[in-house]
A and B are shown apart, each in its own frame.
Chain A
Amino acid sequence: MLEIKCPYCGKRSQNEFSYGGDASVKRPQLEKEISDKEWDGFVYFRSNPRGKHSELWHHVAGCRQWFQVSRNTLTHEIFKTAKINEKL
């Protein structure tokens, strides 16, 4: 069982959260010319590291806020959590 510290509510069990994937994926900036390759990279391609991974979680059965988590994909250890507008 993961224990995740929601930046708004504090430590809660994994059951209250849902996962939102890799937080390092950045949507291409719309005002610039965007190549197909940039779009493909954004939509499909992931670094998928073994070790430290920054990711999005949703406190769906709680405050319903999205936030960032820095977590180890090999040991499941959670290093840090932060609000969306904060630096992780």
Chain B
Amino acid sequence: MQRYSIFSLIKNAFSNHQNWEVAWKDSEPKKKYDVVIVGGGGHGLATAYYLAKEHKITNVAILEKGWIGGGNVGRNTTILRSNYMWDPNGLFYEYGMKLWENLSQELNYNVMYSPRGIINLAHSDAQLNVYSRRGNSMRLNGIDAVMLGRDELKKMIPFADFSPSARFPIFGGLMQPRGGTARHDAVAWGYARQADSMGVDIIQHCEVTGFDVQNGKIQGVQTSRGNIKTKKVGLCVAGSTSLLAEKLNMKLPIESHVLQACVSEPVKPFLDHVVTFGAGHFYCSQSDKGEMVMGGDLDGYNSYAQRGNLPALQHVLSEGVAMFPNLSRLKMLRTWGGIMDMSMDGSPIIDKTHIDGVYLNCGWCYGGFKATPVSGWTFAYTIAQDQAHELNSKYKLNRFNTGHLIDEKGVGTKTWIG
């Protein structure tokens, strides 16, 4: 593999950048693999990368029904954070933050990790109390957390509504300074390039149509491009998890919902951080191109459509305007939707299944992107060692039977509300 550096850039400049090696091959499926990963999104690509790198399992195929990075890894709002209260989430995502910090160097690919800080605004005394509790829990787990007062926030985000007539006055906020953003496509491409260089086959336009299970053990997968034998299959298919699970006669604590995001026309820098609205569900940051990147609530009904409706967008953006009144002057550039695998307690599942050799990685709800490295890392461990790592030991599928839920938000089973 050609290493990217200032020298390779200069060298290739002499040939007008016509002779760069391809970053990864478009592989043909072989008859047999040690591990098959279904889903060529961020999590699938990261899983294959860590299987090869950490566990030396390189006879791996990634089967992607579309093209890699065309699903949720290319549809999110690029936010990274580990500002969780419950231990299983805090420790898991914090390990992920540590992976993010070195990811560009590790992958030799600039993922544009930007620790610009994520601020959760509080609009009442009660909310400030809840945030300080969460901040304290985070600090006990070694995660950075800072409480901010109204005056500090005024200096940091001067365009937020600090006027006396604000509908939701800003009382203060909780900040995780190491939180931030990363270039989502680069994450997918960086993992793909490294996985490919270690021998992983990235097979695009190859849809899994069925599974060959005998005596409770997986023997292979049926695909639109022929049958593939394997002893281990990892599912990383986000919103489509229930569809594949059905082919394995499994019913999951998951509902698929469409979540929309949008970007405005580009403007000069006016927001240095990621900011979330505390009186509703809205978050925004400014991209390097100057666009405001915004998102919020689900559309609110089961959907596999990858596109949403106007009412949800209108609702979310009205919250945005309540927070930053000057957003109302911006034109919208693009809107899009992705299908979230909403789990019944709002936390993910990374676990073995009742079928020997079938592993499950799903339930990412709104927050799959930030988990990409740590999800891949722990899922690769789970597949290679046939047991969960301590980091994902609480993300069990059977917690919905044993009652050990990780209900960070405590909203119950109405997934479309959470």
A contact residues vs B (CB 8 Å cutoff):
1-2, 13-15, 18-19, 21-22, 36-37, 40-41, 43-50, 53, 55, 71, 73-76
Contacts and interface: CB of A to CB of B under 8 A. Distances in A.
B416 A15 contact: no
B255 interface: yes
Contacts of B301: 19, 55, 71
Interface string B230-242: 0000000000101
Given A1-B309, A2-B309, A40-B400, A46 B300 contact: no
Contacts of B302: 22, 48, 53, 55, 73
Contacts of B416: 19, 21
Interface stretch (B21-29, B168-176, B246-254): B246-254
A1 B311 CA distance: 7
23 contacts: A1-B311, A13-B311, A14-B311, A19-B300, A21-B255, A21-B414, A37-B401, A40-B400, A43-B344, A45-B252, A45-B253, A46-B242, A46-B254, A47-B246, A47-B251, A48-B252, A48-B254, A50-B243, A50-B304, A55-B301, A73-B305, A74-B304, A74-B305
Given A14-B311, A19-B416, A73-B256, A45 B305 contact: no
Contacts of A1: 309-311
A29 B189 CA distance: 52
A37 B303 CA distance: 27
Interface of B is mostly: mixed
B413 interface: yes
Contacts of B303: 73-74, 76
A54 B344 CA distance: 19
A47 B304 contact: no
B251 A41 contact: yes
Contacts of A13: 311
A75 B301 CA distance: 12
Interface in B213-269: 240, 242-243, 246, 251-256
